[in-house]
Chains A and B, each alone.
Chain A
Amino acid sequence: MLPYRDALRVLVAQRRNELVIAPFQAAIVWEELSTRHELDLPYYGSMGKAASTGLGVALAVPHLDVWVLDGDGSLLMNLGCLVTTAHLAPPNLWHFVLENGVYGTTGGQPIPGRDRVDFAGFARAAGFPRVFAFDELAAFERALPTVLARTPDAGPLRGPTFVALRVTAEQFPRRVPRRTTKQALPEVWQTVERIARETVAARDRH
């Protein structure tokens, strides 16, 4: 098991200029650890839908890498998104799933299928060309350069990356989010739009 907070700490250390979309419990912890809030979208609007928004951004801005820090309970609400994502195959999308086996923000009730569901297996079966699963922090840390490298620009390995992380089911104190989605969205939206415009401008110059 990876300690929940440490798993995110490792990602924060490797983070460069990626857009990070984190729902619920992951958002609470990520917002504490990250210093790039102009590229952090805490996602409380509709449970299960963070991955779909990440997919939309990845399609819209191919030169921006997008990380979705999903929860296992959240992904169970929108499993079809795995097929949609694999079909559209953006190579700039990383779908992390923090598997703690519980609904963390509602008191730790177990998710259906806890300890039986194979999220990495779901992703493979959906057609993700690259899937990783980790249950040990050091192994995750060692593999991160490979995990975070983009897939090839063409061929059957081109596409999104799925990463299942078996994390501890910790009870973080309930607290008011640092920023709600509505508070964060205008700044993050503006940043993503600026990156999209700069990408187009750079392409036109060449």
Chain B
Amino acid sequence: MEATEVSVRASEAVAQLLACGITHVVWLPDSESSFLYQALQQAEAAGQLRVVPICREGEAIPLALGLLMGGQRPVIIIQNTGFFEAGDSLRGQALDFGLPLLLLIGYRGWHPDRAQMTDTAAIYLEPVLRAYGVPFYLLDSPAALPLIPKAYAEAQARRGPVAVLIAGEWE
């Protein structure tokens, strides 16, 4: 895909993030969120936000804490597999310190019929989010994109993390 070829869905998703006032996207690419890549690059080239690539998902929340301290408005985009790895940061920082963070989480293994989900990355995701007390929403169609600003606003209001789960691999 050329840098100028950005899918409408990706543009809409990034537009929703920009409407929230997002300044930084702390990101480790995954199959579910990779559709955003070109749109994020374009937004960064236009000076609308900065993409902050990380090596492992456990870096995301402590890095976002630093950005928040400096008055910035970060969002985190990681996959469910890495979300599990980031559990200590979620507990020890996002929850303990009440960080108003939107987490966009790639829902690897998602299937609209839950009985057919066989990937444990999918099976354990929602129960683990519930166990941590993190509210979440399912982004399973373009019509659901307004969930992004809704979840962001909720994170600010509750002073804590809120997740939007990117279900399926988008184009």
Contacts and interface: CB of A to CB of B under 8 A. Distances in A.
Contacts of B91: 46
Given A59-B52, A84-B53, A46 B62 contact: yes
A49 interface: yes
A46 B63 contact: no
Chain A CB within 10 A, most for which of B50, B61, B66, B91: B66
Given A52-B59, A182-B96, A197 B71 contact: yes
Interface of A, secondary structure class, is helix
A53 B68 CA distance: 10
B79 to A, nearest CB: 16
Contacts of A57: 66-67, 69-70
Interface size class of B (residues with CB under 8 A): 20 to 34
Contact of B67 (A46, A56, A83, A188): A56
Chain B CB within 10 A, most for which of A52, A55, A81, A192: A52
Interface of B, secondary structure class, is helix
Contacts of B59: 49, 52, 78, 80-81, 84
B70 A46 contact: no
Contact of A188 (B52, B68, B69): B69
A47 B92 CA distance: 9
17 contacts: A46-B62, A49-B59, A49-B93, A52-B59, A52-B66, A56-B63, A56-B64, A56-B65, A56-B70, A57-B69, A60-B66, A60-B72, A61-B70, A78-B58, A80-B55, A84-B63, A197-B71
Given A53-B62, A78-B59, 20 more contacts: A45-B92, A45-B96, A46-B89, A46-B91, A46-B93, A50-B62, A52-B66, A53-B66, A53-B69, A55-B66, A57-B69, A57-B70, A78-B58, A80-B55, A84-B59, A182-B96, A185-B97, A188-B69, A189-B69, A193-B71
